[in-house]
Amino acid sequence: MNSRRCAAAAAALLAMVAVGGCVDAGSVPSADHSASVRLTSSEVGPQWILSAGAVPKLVQAGLPRAQLEQDFDRPTTLLLARRVWRNKYLPQSSTAFSFPSADALVAAVDTGQVPDSTRWLLLDLERWTRTPQAEQQNPIGALRRAVAAAHAHGKQVLFTPGVDLMGTLRPGLSGVARYGAFIESVVSPGAAVADAFEVQSQSTEATGAATTFVGAAVAAARSAHPGAPVLAGLSTNPNGRRVQPGDLVAVYRAARSAGATGFWLNVPNGGTACPNCGAAQPQVAVAFLQAITNG
């Protein structure tokens, strides 16, 4: 989705490499979740994801530093960035990298471009030019390759596929049928393979599917991989649409009720990767955070 593309484009380390053909999902071995990189029962997975550039915007929009630190200054907050650095606002947070294709992720870990200190790698497959057509046609096969490479280097993969992949997988579907097919063909099998899963629910904000899709998708992901982190997406201006803080709160509460363990809070800017996003709306995020803090 366009609101996600800004963060993914900024965080990706490598350009995509074209894939020679479609990988048969059934021919690729399942991910080994018994590997040493799997979360132990005493560990907590990611609870918040933010782009590094969004943090100062929240402060400038009026979020008190005390609340910023209380909400986000911990290792379970993933900050998407191009390199590992100590964020002056959130020094206890963890840097994560996002990749728009399995090819890019595999190349990065195999060539030593992911530092040892970086544990989480996001795989953001969408129906856009940054994800090769072959990976759009077989996202689960691409995910399995990415997970195998990440695990070989002691990393974990958080899978965050776009609902727009259905335009490639099942063209012509819309509405409830589209969301249902996405859950069946991408969410359930993807969550079963990945170390963590994020539902890109931000596109449903202020729509009739705002609470139903995220609830069903989170429940499906949890069922497919019990105990694994499951996050939900929120955006201050999804694909340029104007939404209210209450619209984010509605998705947040529905996701929480379904068992979501964390959230990706998008504060996108307009640009070449997201031409429809327009100006960032950090004040919406600030009001949302204050609303959930106050009950």
How high does pLDDT run on average in the chain? 88
How far is Cα 200 from Cα 5, in angstroms, rounded to an integer? 12
Please give the average per-residue pLDDT across 94-105, as a whole number: 98
- pLDDT of amino acid 43: 59
Tokens describing residue 142: 């691409």
Residue 97 confidence (pLDDT) above 60: yes
Does a structural domain hold residue 248? yes
What is the domain range of residue 277? Answer: 2-10+71-281
Work out how many domains the chain is built from and give that number: 1
Does a structural domain hold residue 202? yes
Report pTM. Answer: 0.87
Tokens describing residue 39: 């979360």
Does a structural domain hold residue 231? yes
- pLDDT of amino acid 197: 99
Torsion, Cα 29 138 186 72, to 10 degrees, reads 90
DSSP for 97-144 reads EEESSHHHHHHHHHTT-S-TT--EEEE---SSTTS-HHHHH-HHHHHH
- pLDDT of amino acid 4: 52
- pLDDT of amino acid 34: 37
Residue 16 confidence (pLDDT) above 60: no
How far is Cα 95 from Cα 77, in angstroms, rounded to an integer? 8
pLDDT in tens, 274-283: 788 999 999 9
Lowest mean pLDDT of 36-40, 174-178, 267-271, name the range: 36-40
Name the band, by pLDDT with cuts 50, 70 and 90, for residue 65. Answer: very high
Residue 134 confidence (pLDDT) above 80: yes
Residue 24 confidence (pLDDT) above 90: no
Residue 20 confidence (pLDDT) above 60: no
Name the band, by pLDDT with cuts 50, 70 and 90, for residue 270. Answer: confident
Does a structural domain hold residue 169? yes
Does a structural domain hold residue 193? yes
- pLDDT of amino acid 36: 37
More confident residue, 176 or 19: 176
- pLDDT of amino acid 38: 53
CA 232 to mean position of chain CA atoms:
8
Please give the average per-residue pLDDT across 218-228, as a whole number: 99
Residue 128 confidence (pLDDT) above 50: yes
Please give the average per-residue pLDDT across 227-256, as a whole number: 98
How far is Cα 28 from Cα 244, in angstroms, rounded to an integer? 43
Please give the average per-residue pLDDT across 43-68, as a whole number: 95
Please give the average per-residue pLDDT across 222-233, as a whole number: 99
Does a structural domain hold residue 104? yes
Does a structural domain hold residue 150? yes
Name the band, by pLDDT with cuts 50, 70 and 90, for residue 26. Answer: very low
- pLDDT of amino acid 18: 30
Question: Which residues are paired to 196 by β-bridges?
Answer: 158
CATH number of the domain to which 263 belongs: 3.20.20
Does a structural domain hold residue 19? no
**Nearest partner of 99 among 19, 14, 22, judged by Cα:** 14
| Helices (H), ranges, the chain | 2-11, 54-60, 65-72, 102-110, 133-137, 139-152, 166-169, 175-182, 188-193, 212-224, 245-258, 282-293
